[in-house]
DNA sequence: GACCGGATTATG
DNA sequence: ATAATCCGGTCA
């Protein structure tokens, strides 16, 4: 079933973890594109120097300060879109970036990266601020058991000082479709 | 109004 | 290792 507002109105890391194994769905007319989420990243608050809310509620980051359960989609490097879901209480800026999904029926192209999955699922900045509890893009729970989760540092945020080291990237540890392979476990 | 650099990807 | 490519944020 479709995730409701209460799901998103929780601590960002909790949401980022719970989203692994859920299904991202984009309905275009009678057509439906979906993918199983296998990789996410949490961006948490103005203190987090990797989070777009670090400069406060600017025009771009304003949606992060709004109510949970809305989409935040931004353009990166002039050519790729990144899809996030706003979480935590209104007024507390935080979001979960969806970094990889396992493609479902109807999805063409690779989905093992934030830019790639947006391209394959036809998600773009046109969906920014969309309410995921009422719109034509949503996330649903299909009642599957929770996957085994692994946590790693976030990707591409080396500029964020101590915040770059936080293990806020969550993945389905058994998935073969991550944006990067997990390092071998020590021992 | 100019300048800087990025939550990426494809290619060499 | 590096190019592609554009917008947001900063500082003037």
Render pLDDT for A101-133 as a digit per residue (tens, 0 to 9). Answer: 999 988 999 999 999 999 999 999 999 999 999
pTM above 0.75, yes or no: yes
* Closest-lying nucleotide for A95 based on CA to C1': B7
- Asked if residue A20 belongs to a domain, the reply is yes
- Asked if residue A184 belongs to a domain, the reply is no
In chain A, the percentage of residues whose pLDDT exceeds 70 is 98
Q: How many domains does chain A have?
A: 1
- Asked if residue A42 belongs to a domain, the reply is yes
A43 touches strand B (CB under 7 A): yes
User: Which single residue has its CA nearest the C1' atom of nucleotide C3?
Assistant: A77
User: Which single residue has its CA nearest the C1' atom of nucleotide B10?
Assistant: A116
At A115 the pLDDT is 98
At A183 the pLDDT is 77
- Asked if residue A186 belongs to a domain, the reply is no
A75 touches strand C (CB under 7 A): yes
Please report which confidence band the pLDDT of residue A185 belongs to, taking 50, 70 and 90 as the band edges.
low
- In Å, what is the separation between the CA of A186 and the C1' of B4? 40
Q: What's the helix, strand, coil split of chain A in %, to 5?
A: 20, 30, 50
- Asked if residue A111 belongs to a domain, the reply is yes
Query: What is the average pLDDT value for chain A, to the nearest integer?
Result: 96
Per the CB < 8 A criterion, the answer to whether A45 and A173 are in contact is no
- Asked if residue A181 belongs to a domain, the reply is no
- H runs (alpha helix) in chain A: 5-8, 12-18, 62-65, 114-120
- Asked if residue A177 belongs to a domain, the reply is no
Helices H, strands E: what count in chain A?
A: 4, 8
- Asked if residue A183 belongs to a domain, the reply is no
């Amino acid at each position: 079933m479709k995730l409701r507002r209460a799901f998103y109105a929780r601590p960002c890391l909790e949401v980022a973890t719970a989203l692994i194994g859920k299904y991202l769905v984009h309905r275009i007319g009678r057509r439906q594109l979906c993918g199983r989420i296998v990789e996410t990243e949490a961006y948490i608050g103005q203190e987090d120097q990797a989070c777009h809310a670090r400069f406060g509620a600017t025009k771009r980051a304003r949606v992060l300060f709004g109510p949970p359960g809305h989409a935040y989609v931004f353009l990166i490097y002039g050519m790729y879109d990144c899809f996030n879901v706003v979480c935590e209480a209104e007024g507390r800026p935080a979001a979960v970036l969806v970094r990889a999904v396992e493609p479902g029926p109807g999805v063409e192209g690779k989905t093992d990266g934030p830019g790639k999955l947006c391209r394959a699922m036809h998600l773009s900045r046109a969906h920014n601020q969309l309410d995921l509890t009422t719109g034509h893009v949503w996330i649903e729970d299909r009642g599957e058991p929770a996957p085994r989760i692994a946590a790693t540092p976030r990707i591409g945020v080396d500029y964020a000082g101590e915040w770059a080291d936080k293990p806020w990237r969550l993945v389905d540890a058994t998935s073969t479709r991550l944006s990067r392979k997990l390092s071998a476990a020590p021992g």
